[in-house]
Structure 1
Amino acid sequence: MRISVPTIPHVVSSTKTNTITPAAAIERIASHLASGSVTLLTGAGVSVDSGIRAYRGKDGRYMNPNYKPIFYHELVADNSKGRAFSIPHASTATPDSVTGKLRSYLGYPLVRDTQPNTTHYALAALQHTGHINHLITQNVDGLHRRAIDHLWDDARTDARILELHGTLHRVHCQFGHVVSRDEFQDRLSASNPKWKAFVDELEATGKKPRTNPDGDVELEGVSYDDFVVPECLACLAQGRYNTNQKPELIFFGESIPQSIKERSFRDIERSDKLFLIGTTLATFSAYRLVKHALELKKPVLLLNVGPTRADGLEGIDKIEIATSRVMRDVVRAVLGRRASIDPVIVSLLNNGIHRPPLDDNDG
């Protein structure tokens, strides 16, 4: 089986774009959103200001040159390698040994504790006012939900936010039993007191490992062989011993459930326009939604720093500028006076962190 890692074609990644002033960007984005009926599609770039690294840098290349994802067929294979990966790890775990057993356990606390940034809350304001009526995200960090969950109940959030690639915050076994990630993390800690002490030391010293958007970490010189994965309690209650569990993520080579795929297409069809933020569209699951919108003659606006797979497509209006420089002012431009007198909107526009991760060369 040959499965390739999603990339941006070189001819696209070398495309040059013109610079734009924040004022001009705000005007163009506000004009696109003002009439409402917009579906929003977001990628890893949206969460960078929360401290979560994107996969790719401004040149469109992977920031980790040794990037080696774990593929779904390796995860589920009925052999030693498959059994080694039948655990709760992230989609970029290295398939060289049993490293997947621990890497997500070490990386998840960073994602769990990360807060929504100013862009998340600005977008939540536009969701709350109905200008963005559907949000599709490739991110698995749950930050879009956290930015608006104090305003909406679970049913409304589930109906308006589609997590295209799943979430880190739930774990399921091969038989469909689901538990919260926090509960599973606690069970992992109880089963691995040595590694729990290691995590506590990392948190106490502030020496957090490099973490990818899906919660996978980069560690060198560490042996993972003694990491214990607890059994699924629901399976155990049925008389079945089963440690084959993973986060509700879509792994490379794994198909998106048909119901999710169909809903993503419906969300495009139900809106008049498409707005893209912080995504290179390297994964086909996102790129095909853009193609679908273009086929339906819907206006498409793309806000992303660096090259994308859609560069050069006819019908794409692209703006290159950091979202944190414009999105709150976009909300003010769209909502006018309401942005300064509506207490909910005021609160959203005054909320959110801005803590982008340090570059690898920084201290």
Structure 2
Amino acid sequence: MSPTHLDRWAEAFAGRRVLVLSGAGCSTPSGIPDYRGPTGRLRRRRPMTFDTFRGSEAARRRYWARAVVGWPRFAAARANPAHLALADLEARGVVTGIVTQNVDGLHGDAGSRNVVELHGSLHAVVCLGCGRRHRRSDVQSWMLAANPTWEPTWAAAAPDGDAHLPDDRIDTFVVAPCPTCGGILKPDVVFFGEAVPRPRVERVRAWVDACEALWVVGSSLAVFSGYRFVRRAAERGIPVGIVNVGPTRGDDLATLRTHADVAAFLPALARRLSPA
């Protein structure tokens, strides 16, 4: 990151009402790993798909066993300077809203008010049977009660709030059902292969149509659910700024493109920008 980059961003976006699209790179400084490294390639273990989760008891056992071990570390993550800088810019009227592809709730923890969690939140769990929503912290207690000999230990963290465990530990895990109807409990997030709810998409589309600039921070835009909004902004002819470590799918649509750690870049940029 150089003063020249900051000067260009400050000049391009001064006086504009900015919408932000954030990705995993916004939360990696908080200790939450992402699915893709700097090369943009998926890490070795494939993420869970909705069809697999719904149709396979073994897959649900594997998911929840790992999730129970990984949850304490995920829940302990705290907002970093990138989240705090965006919250400050929102409070000052520069940023109009944040559309995040992350499921960690850290933008809200930082104080941002206008946030759409495009892919949902791991802090909530929904029953696929009755539709009731539960707090993830409550589900943690139910899962531990169903496995009295289970001893959650720190393990290598994974992107979706879980951890890597050996198969012999997974095979003995008992998945607690919904206490209301006995149905299947699923984290209230959009799994791979699952559609983002239409009202959520329409709300973001309206935000894109109303803003005067779009920033992409910490996202490779590999998933279409976020990339489509960058395309829409570019079609409107408004400036698009992208800051990320590594290439992104939207680089050719960017007005400004900076390779930088967002936790360093955004606080520095915030100091240079005034309200719209």
TM-score between both structures, scaled by the size of structure 1: 0.71
| Partners of 1:25 and 1:326 within 8 A in 2 | no
Give the Å deviation of 1:233: 2.2
1:71 maps to which of 49, 56, 72: 49
The equivalent residue for 2:205 is 265
| Partners of 1:40 and 1:275 within 8 A in 2 | yes
**Are residue 299 (structure 1) and residue 239 (structure 2) matched?**
yes
Q: Secondary structure at the match of 2:251?
A: coil
Give the Å deviation of 1:136: 0.1
Give the Å deviation of 1:53: 1.4
| Partners of 1:84 and 1:101 within 8 A in 2 | no
| Partners of 1:37 and 1:130 within 8 A in 2 | yes
2:258 maps to which of 291, 295, 319: 319
| Partners of 1:191 and 1:230 within 8 A in 2 | yes
Give the Å deviation of 1:221: 4.6
Q: Secondary structure at the match of 1:287?
A: helix
| Partners of 1:274 and 1:299 within 8 A in 2 | yes
Task: State the alpha-carbon separation in 2 of the partners of residues 209 and 335 from structure 1.
Answer: 43
Q: Percent identity?
A: 35
**Are residue 177 (structure 1) and residue 142 (structure 2) matched?**
no
The equivalent residue for 2:146 is 191
**Are residue 210 (structure 1) and residue 156 (structure 2) matched?**
yes
1:109 maps to which of 53, 63, 72: 72
Q: Secondary structure at the match of 1:268?
A: helix
| Partners of 1:44 and 1:54 within 8 A in 2 | yes
Q: Secondary structure at the match of 1:223?
A: helix
The equivalent residue for 2:169 is 223
Give the Å deviation of 1:264: 1.4
| Partners of 1:278 and 1:303 within 8 A in 2 | yes
Change (3 A) 1:210 1:30: farther
Task: State the alpha-carbon separation in 1 of the partners of residues 2 and 155 from structure 2.
Answer: 34
**Are residue 255 (structure 1) and residue 198 (structure 2) matched?**
no
The equivalent residue for 1:42 is 22
The equivalent residue for 1:353 is none
What do residues 276-319 of structure 1 show as CA deviations (whole Å, max 9, x unaligned)? 10000000001111111111111100001101111234x54211
Task: State the alpha-carbon separation in 2 of the partners of residues 32 and 169 from structure 1.
Answer: 37
Task: State the alpha-carbon separation in 2 of the partners of residues 281 and 48 from structure 1.
Answer: 16
The equivalent residue for 1:22 is 2
Task: State the alpha-carbon separation in 2 of the partners of residues 54 and 32 from structure 1.
Answer: 30
The equivalent residue for 1:205 is none
**Are residue 233 (structure 1) and residue 179 (structure 2) matched?**
yes
TM-score between both structures, scaled by the size of structure 2: 0.93
Change (3 A) 1:32 1:109: farther
| AA in 2 matched with 1:145 | G
2:41 maps to which of 51, 61, 64: 61
| AA in 2 matched with 1:224 | I
RMSD: 1.8
Change (3 A) 1:38 1:173: same
Task: State the alpha-carbon separation in 1 of the partners of residues 166 and 8 from structure 2.
Answer: 46
| AA in 2 matched with 1:130 | G
Q: Secondary structure at the match of 1:333?
A: coil
After TM superposition, the runs of 4+ consecutive aligned structure 1 residues lying more than 6 A away are: none
Q: Secondary structure at the match of 1:41?
A: strand
| AA in 1 matched with 2:124 | R
Task: State the alpha-carbon separation in 1 of the partners of residues 185 and 12 from structure 2.
Answer: 43
Structure 1: any 5+ residue segments left out of the alignment?
1-20, 88-97, 150-156, 203-207, 236-240, 337-363
| AA in 2 matched with 1:28 | R
Give the Å deviation of 1:29: 2.7
Task: State the alpha-carbon separation in 1 of the partners of residues 167 and 12 from structure 2.
Answer: 50
The equivalent residue for 1:119 is 82
Task: State the alpha-carbon separation in 1 of the partners of residues 8 and 15 from structure 2.
Answer: 13
| AA in 1 matched with 2:53 | L
